[in-house]
Amino acid sequence: MAIPFPSEEWIAAYKEKINSNPNYKESGANWEHGTIALILQLDDENALQKARQDPILSKQLKADETAVGVWLDLYHGVCKEAKRVSVDEANQAKFVISGGYARWKAVLKKELDPVKGMMQGKLKLKGDLPTIVRFVKAAQDLVDSATMIDTKFVDE
């Protein structure tokens, strides 16, 4: 059954997909550079309304919440923890990638390569870029793991 994005269930499934992705296990084997957070701005009014009507997401979204953070604790090719956090908490991560709902949806549908998206200014990266450049393949494998989830987009 498709899991609504970005629910806590979706984040748990994301952790499973990362840990069962042999490509990430290899490309992230030397990763010991800290946490990565993804920030999803719920800037699409239609998607936000639909999310508030979704039986799962409606219970998880706070009334005034317009963005969701996904916290990934990664170490040597393993995701030790994946959890939903506030934007303030997400911004404490060593690396933060943020973007609007439509951008993340395009990434998950493989319509937008995240690195190209960053170069085009569609996604924003905060953190030590030289480290990310050394782990571009791992970053791509992390995103690939997310695309393997049977995702339900609330606006569809």
Told to check if 2 binds another protein by CB under 8 A, we report no
Residue 101, phi then psi, degrees to nearest 5: -55, -45
Residue 116 makes contact with another protein by CB under 8 A: yes
111 forms part of the interface with another protein (CB under 8 A):
no
Instruction: Name the residue nearer to another protein (CB basis): 4 or 117.
Output: 117
User: What does the block give as tokens for 103?
Assistant: 């951008």
DSSP H helices in 28-148: 45-53, 57-60, 87-90, 101-108, 114-119, 129-134, 136-147
- From 37-45, 89-97, 118-126, 142-150, give the range in contact with another protein by CB under 8 A: 118-126
DSSP state of 53: H
Amino acid residing at 114? P
Beta carbon nearer to another protein, 79 or 123: 123
Pairing label, strands 78-85, 67-75: antiparallel
Angle at 88 between CA 85 and CA 94, to 5 degrees: 85
Q: Report the residue from 20, 81, 110, 133 that binds another protein according to the rule CB under 8 A.
A: 133
Q: Which one of residues 118, 144, 152, 155 is an interface residue with another protein (CB under 8 A)?
A: 118
119 counts as binding another protein under rule CB under 8 A: yes
- Counting contacts by CB under 8 A, is residue 117 touching another protein? yes
Of 4 and 28, the one with the shorter C-beta distance to another protein is 28
Stretch that binds another protein, among 9-17, 51-59, 85-93, 123-131 (CB under 8 A): 123-131
- Beta strands of 19-100 (E only): which ranges? 36-41, 67-75, 78-85, 95-100
Enumerate binding residues for another protein (CB under 8 A): 115-125, 128-131, 133-134, 136
